[in-house]
Amino acid sequence: MKIGLLALQGAVGPHAEILASIGATTVEIRRPAELDDVDALVIPGGESTTMARLLVTSGLFDPLIERLASGMCAMGTCAGMIMLASTVLDGRPDQRSLAAIDIGVRRNAFGRQIDSFECPLEVSGLTGTFPGVFIRAPFVEEVGSGVSVGATVEDHPVLCSTEQILVTAFHPELTDDQRVHRMFLEMVEQ
């Protein structure tokens, strides 16, 4: 299984390390033609408005929408969640998203960098808690049909999924716990 890592901006390395540790081959994606050779894509945390601009200037935006529409699985963490959402509730007026999962996301919803935090999460399908690492994190305010909520903080969804998309407001790649990435690989294998 070959997993693409959107490598325009953001925390790509930690995702590569955790995916390699559980048996996935990863390749960094910077150009449209590179999308052709991957089974799925991870969009890392970073800065969503910058990431959106770089998707456009690299020529990746429209090819990525096409791949997602044709059924390619994707995982987005933090800014990746924002990029995959159908609605960005407080984004820039010119900010585009990939609209791959029917959720409305609020950027930096838990506060600024100084408000970053960690907390144990109860995640559907996992035994025990998962170490949630939240850095200037978004949360979901609107959940559309066909979207499952897998974890919440203060009644706000922070992990959502469909059959092909998994998004988290937190950073599972910044922990030693591989279970969320394993959930994603299981989704890709189906």
Residues identified as active-site: 78, 171, 173
User: Could you give the maximum distance between any two Cα atoms of the chain, in Å?
Assistant: 42
Classify residue 188 by its DSSP letter: H
The Cα 180–Cα 144 span in angstroms is 22
Q: What does 71-106 look like in DSSP terms, one character per residue? A: T-EEEEETHHHHHHEEEETTS-TT------EEEEEE
Report CA 58 to chain centroid distance, whole Å. 19
> Which residues, other chains included, contact 176 with Cβ-Cβ below 8 Å and sequence gap of 6+?
none
Q: Does an H or E element contain 4, and which? A: strand 2-6
Residues forming a β-bridge with 26: 3
